[in-house]
C-alpha cells in the first residue's frame, strides 16, 4: 500500500533543501476538517529557515507538487499547502488492502517476536474482586492484545496477592469462627467476612493480633497445617476469579503471585546489603531514596518478614531471568505510583540497567453513582455481579427488540453485548481519568458505546448476507474504486487507512482508548456511508465496489473489537 505521508514528504523535500525528509514528515498534518484537504503542510518552520513569508513558500510548494498523480488537487491557503488525494486511487489501494488482509489488517511485525510481559488484574485473594479491579483486568488484557497485533511475543501474568500477614488473620478467623462449607460455597465473600470479623474481634481482644502474627510466621516457615489452609483458600479463590476471567475471555500464561517469591527473597536482601543500599532502622531494614524525592522503602520488618515491595523486586529480577523481557508492563492503579517509583529506582540503584524497561501503566478510580465503594463497610460491587447484571439487562433489551429470536440466540448475543458493554465502557476514556460507573450509559445502544459498535458490525454483516455470497466473492477479487469517491466513502477510507497507525500509537502510549475512539469513528463513518449511499444497487460494478467497502469496514471494526477483547456478533 502506498505510504501517503512518505510520498508527500518525498515530493516536498526537493522544494526545501534545508529540511530533511524526517523533519518534513513531522510537519505534515492531518486536517480534522476535510475541506482543508487530506494532508496539510504548514510553512511556518520552513519560512523561518528560508527567511521568506510563509504564504510565498506555500504557494511555491503547491505549484511544484500539484501535478503529482497521487493528488486530485493541491491548494495554497495562507501559510498552508492543502493536499487532496486522488480519491479513487486512494479508495482502491486501501479497500483492496483491508479486504485482502481481513483478519490480519492492523497487525504488523514491528515487535519481531521480542518478549513483552503484561501484568494485569492481580487481585488479592480473599479481598473482593470488585468493579475497581475491572480496570486493571480490561485495560491490561487490551494492552496485551495490542502488543500481539504489533508482533511482540506477549506473556500474560497475574501477580496474585496471595501472600502477606493478612493470611495469618484469615486463618485465625477461620479457626475460631469459620466453617468449611461456607468457604467452598462462596470463597471470596466468606474470606472477606473472616477478615472483617477478625478486625472487629481484635478490637475487643488484642491478643488475636499476636495469634495472627504467629500463624503467619508458621505459614512462612512452611508448616504443614497452615500451608494447607492457605493453599485451600488460594485454590477456592482462584476458582472464583477464573469464573470472571472466563466470562471476559481472559487467559494467563502465569499466575505466579506474591507467594511464588516467598522463598526467593533472601538473595535480594543480601544483595541490597552487599551493595550498601540497606540501612537499619529499629531492627527493620530500609532503603533511603531521599536523593530522588521519594520516601524510604521498607524491605524487611523487624521480625524479618518481607513486604509487598520486596516481592516486587524479586519478581522483576525473576521475570528478567526467566523471560528476558524487552518490556515488563504493570497495569496497576495510580494509587500505587509511589510504590512503583520506589522499587524501579531500587533496581536501578542495584545496577540493573533493564530497570528502565519496567513500565508502570497507571489508571484512575471508578466510583458508583450512589457513592464510592468501601471494602471496610462492605459497600462493594462485585465484578461478577456487574457482568451478570449487564447480561440480564441486555437480554431484556434484546427480547423487546426481537421478540421472535430463539432463546439460544438471545443468550449468546446477551452475553457478547452485555459483557462487551462493560468492557467497552472501561476502555472508552483515557485510562488515567477517574470515572463514575453508570448502567444507563453502559447499555446505551445509540451513543458512543460498545453496543453501538457491535450493532454497526452486525449491520455490515447483514448487508453482506443480503448481497449474497456471489457478490461478496467478486468484491474480494476486485472492484472499480471510482464508485467509492463520495464524501462519506472517502471519509471511511481515510479512517481505515489510519487504523494500523492508531494501533501503533495505542501501544506506544499504553492507551487502548485510542483504538476505542477510532473504531467508534469508523462505526459512525460506516453508518453515514450506509445512510448516504445505496449499497445494493442494480448496477453490478457499483454494487461490487460498495460491497468491497462494507467488507473492509467490517474487517476493521471486527479487528478493533478484538483488540478491545470484545466479541463481534454477526446478528443482533
| Catalytic positions, written as ranges | 127, 130, 133
Sequence-ordered strand ranges (E) for 36-150: 39-42, 71-77, 80-85, 115-119
**Judged by CB under 6 A, which stretch of 81-89, 117-125, 203-211, 279-287 contacts ligand ARG?**
117-125
Distance, in Å, from the CA atom of 534 to the CA atom of 298, rounded to the nearest integer, reads 68
Residue 182 burial (10 A CB sphere; 0-12, 13-18, 19+): middle
Q: What count of residues does the chain have?
A: 572
Phi/psi-derived region of residue 569, left when phi > 0, alpha when psi is between -120 and 50, beta in every other case: beta
Contacting residue, 211, 240, 312, 542, with ligand ARG by CB under 6 A: 312
> Which one among 122, 306, 310, 425 touches ligand ARG, defined by CB under 6 A?
122
Residue least distant from ligand ARG (Cβ): 161
Residues 138-167 that bind ligand ARG (CB under 6 A): 159, 161
Q: How far is the CB of 161 from ligand ARG (least distance, A)?
A: 3
**CA–CA separation, 419 vs 432, rounded Å?**
22
Asked if 389 touches ligand ARG (CB under 6 A), the answer is: no
Site for ligand ARG in 2-41 (CB under 6 A): none
Which of 103, 108, 111, 106 lies closest to 153, judged by CA? 111
The minimum distance between CB 132 and ligand ARG, in angstroms, equals 9
Span from 90-98, 118-126, 290-298, 487-495 in contact with ligand ARG (CB under 6 A): 118-126
Q: How far apart are CA 414 and CA 408, in angstroms?
A: 10
Rounded least distance, CB 160 to ligand ARG, Å: 7
Q: For residue 130, state whether it binds ligand ARG (rule: CB under 6 A).
A: no
SS3 251: coil
Q: Name the one range near ligand ARG by CB under 6 A: 62-70, 120-128, 359-367, 424-432.
A: 120-128
Give the range of 119-127, 165-173, 364-372, 481-489 binding ligand ARG by CB under 6 A.
119-127
Cβ distance to ligand ARG smaller for residue 7 or 301: 301
Contact residue for ligand ARG among 332, 428, 564, 565 (CB under 6 A): 332
Q: Which residues pair with 358 in a beta bridge?
A: 328
The answer to whether 124 contacts ligand ARG (rule: CB under 6 A) is yes
Interface with ligand ARG (CB under 6 A), residue total 9
Closest approach, Cβ 553 to ligand ARG, in A, equals: 38
Exactly one of 330, 437, 479, 499 binds ligand ARG (CB under 6 A); that residue is 330
Tell me the closest approach of the beta carbon of residue 510 to ligand ARG, in angstroms.
15
Strands 358-361 and 366-368: unpaired
Q: Which of 46, 54, 92, 123 binds ligand ARG (CB under 6 A)?
A: 123
Percentage helix, strand, coil, to 5, in the chain?
60, 10, 30
Cα 470 from chain centre:
38
Q: For residue 79, give every residue at least 6 positions away whose Cβ sits within 8 Å of its Cβ, in sequence order, or none.
A: 42, 43, 44, 47, 54, 55, 57, 58
Q: d(Cα 97, Cα 103) in Å, to the nearest integer? A: 11
Residues in contact with ligand ARG by the rule CB under 6 A = 119, 122-124, 159, 161, 312, 330, 332
Amino acid at each position: 500500500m502506498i505510504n501517503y505521508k512518505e510520498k508527500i514528504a518525498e515530493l516536498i523535500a526537493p522544494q526545501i533543501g534545508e529540511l530533511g525528509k524526517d523533519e518534513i514528515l513531522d510537519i505534515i498534518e492531518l486536517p480534522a476538517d476535510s475541506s482543508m484537504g487530506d494532508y496539510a503542510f504548514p510553512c511556518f518552520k520552513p519560512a523561518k529557515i528560508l527567511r521568506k513569508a510563509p504564504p510565498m513558500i506555500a504557494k511555491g510548494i503547491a505549484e511544484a507538487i500539484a501535478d503529482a498523480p497521487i493528488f486530485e488537487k493541491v491548494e495554497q491557503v495562507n501559510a498552508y499547502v492543502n493536499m487532496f488525494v486522488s480519491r479513487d486511487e486512494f479508495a482502491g489501494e486501501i479497500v483492496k488492502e483491508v479486504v485482502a488482509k481481513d483478519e490480519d489488517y492492523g497487525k504488523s511485525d514491528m515487535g519481531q517476536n521480542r518478549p513483552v510481559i503484561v501484568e494485569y488484574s492481580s487481585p488479592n485473594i480473599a479481598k473482593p474482586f470488585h468493579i475497581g479491579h475491572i480496570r486493571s483486568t480490561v485495560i491490561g488484557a487490551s494492552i496485551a492484545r495490542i502488543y500481539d497485533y504489533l508482533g511482540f511475543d506477549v506473556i500474560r501474568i497475574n501477580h496474585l496477592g496471595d501472600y502477606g500477614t493478612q493470611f495469618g488473620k484469615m486463618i485465625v478467623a477461620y479457626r475460631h469462627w469459620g466453617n468449611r462449607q461456607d468457604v467452598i460455597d462462596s470463597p471470596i465473600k466468606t474470606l472477606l467476612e473472616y477478615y472483617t470479623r477478625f478486625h472487629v474481634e481484635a478490637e475487643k481482644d488484642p491478643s488475636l493480633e499476636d495469634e495472627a502474627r504467629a500463624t503467619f510466621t508458621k505459614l512462612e516457615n512452611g508448616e504443614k497445617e497452615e500451608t494447607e489452609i492457605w493453599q485451600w483458600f488460594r485454590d477456592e479463590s482462584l476458582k472464583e476469579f477464573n469464573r470472571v476471567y472466563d466470562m471476559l475471555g481472559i487467559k494467563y500464561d502465569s499466575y505466579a503471585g506474591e507467594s511464588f517469591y516467598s522463598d526467593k527473597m533472601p538473595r535480594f536482601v543480601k544483595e541490597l546489603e552487599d551493595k550498601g543500599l540497606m540501612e537499619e532502622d529499629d531492627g527493620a531494614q530500609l532503603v533511603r531514596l531521599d536523593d530522588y524525592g521519594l520516601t524510604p522503602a521498607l524491605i524487611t520488618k523487624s521480625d524479618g518478614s518481607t513486604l509487598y515491595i520486596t516481592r516486587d523486586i524479586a519478581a522483576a529480577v525473576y521475570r528478567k531471568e526467566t523471560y528476558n523481557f524487552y518490556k515488563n508492563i504493570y497495569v496497576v492503579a495510580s494509587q500505587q505510583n509511589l510504590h512503583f517509583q520506589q522499587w524501579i529506582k531500587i533496581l536501578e540503584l542495584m545496577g540493573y540497567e533493564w530497570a528502565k524497561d519496567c513500565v508502570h501503566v497507571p489508571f484512575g478510580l471508578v466510583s458508583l453513582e450512589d457513592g464510592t465503594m468501601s471494602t471496610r463497610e462492605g459497600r462493594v460491587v462485585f465484578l461478577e455481579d456487574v457482568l451478570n447484571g449487564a447480561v440480564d439487562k441486555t437480554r431484556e433489551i434484546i427480547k423487546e427488540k426481537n421478540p421472535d429470536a430463539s432463546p439460544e440466540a438471545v443468550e449468546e448475543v446477551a452475553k457478547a453485548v452485555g459483557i462487551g458493554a462493560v468492557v467497552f465502557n472501561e476502555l472508552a476514556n483515557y485510562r488515567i481519568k477517574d470515572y463514575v460507573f453508570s448502567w444507563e450509559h453502559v447499555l446505551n445502544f445509540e451513543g458512543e458505546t460498545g453496543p453501538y459498535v457491535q450493532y454497526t458490525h452486525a449491520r455490515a454483516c447483514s448487508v453482506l448476507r443480503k448481497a449474497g455470497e456471489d457478490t461478496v466473492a467478486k468484491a474480494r477479487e476486485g472492484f472499480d474504486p471510482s464508485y467509492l469517491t463520495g464524501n462519506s466513502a472517502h471519509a471511511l477510507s481515510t479512517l481505515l487507512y489510519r487504523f494500523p497507525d492508531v494501533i501503533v500509537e495505542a501501544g506506544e502510549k499504553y492507551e487502548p482508548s485510542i483504538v476505542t475512539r477510532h473504531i467508534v469513528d469508523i462505526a459512525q463513518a460506516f453508518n453515514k456511508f450506509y445512510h448516504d449511499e445505496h449499497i445494493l444497487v442494480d448496477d453490478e460494478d457499483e454494487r461490487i465496489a460498495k460491497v468491497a467497502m462494507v467488507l473492509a469496514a467490517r474487517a476493521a471494526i471486527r479487528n478493533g473489537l478484538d483488540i478491545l477483547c470484545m466479541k463481534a456478533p454477526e446478528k443482533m
